[in-house]
Amino acid sequence: QVQLAESGGGSVQAGGSLSLSCAASRYTYSTYCMGWFRQTPGKEREGVAVIPKDGTTTYADSVKGRFTISRDNAKNTLYLQMNSLKPEDTAMYYCAAKPASWLSGSLSCYPDFGEYRNWGQGTQVTVSS
């Protein structure tokens, strides 16, 4: 099974920053597209940012210009740098993955939030005003 382990959550004041990390196995990292989702109590999980294998990134409108998704191939780790945090960013953040497909001559995924079904345990982010 796909195993993902998030870390880096915490509590910060509005305007502050946090950096989340997601460690994956070498197999998962090399054959799966990955991204970040978040969920608040009683709400459905929503996409935050994804980074397909071709390097294309997609962000939710609510985080564009503030969050940056990246990955370190040598460490098999996905990151989410979150700047200018707002109280509405408070949520449990989940690392997510899905199998890559052969697209445009490379193993990749469409740059959207669809069909991510493998999840880590989550890391809590709390932003106070």
Task: Assign 106 a pLDDT band (cuts: 50, 70, 90).
Answer: confident
Residue 73: predicted pLDDT: 85
Cβ 48 vs Cβ 36: under 8 Å: yes
State the pLDDT at residue 51: 92
- The 10s digit of each residue's pLDDT in 34-81 is 999 999 998 999 999 999 877 789 999 999 999 999 999 889 999 999
Query: How large is the average pLDDT for residues 1-6?
Result: 89
Closest CA to 64 of 77, 52, 47: 47
Contact 76, 21 (CB under 8 A): no
C-alpha–C-alpha distance, residues 113 and 87, integer Å:
23
pLDDT digits (tens, 9 = 90+) for 17-37: 999 999 998 888 888 899 999
Query: Looking at this protein, which amino acid is placed at residue 7?
Result: S
Both structure tokens of 26? 């070498």
Report the candidate in 101, 102, 98 with the shortest Cα–Cα distance to residue 50.
98
β-pairing, 10-13 vs 123-128, is parallel
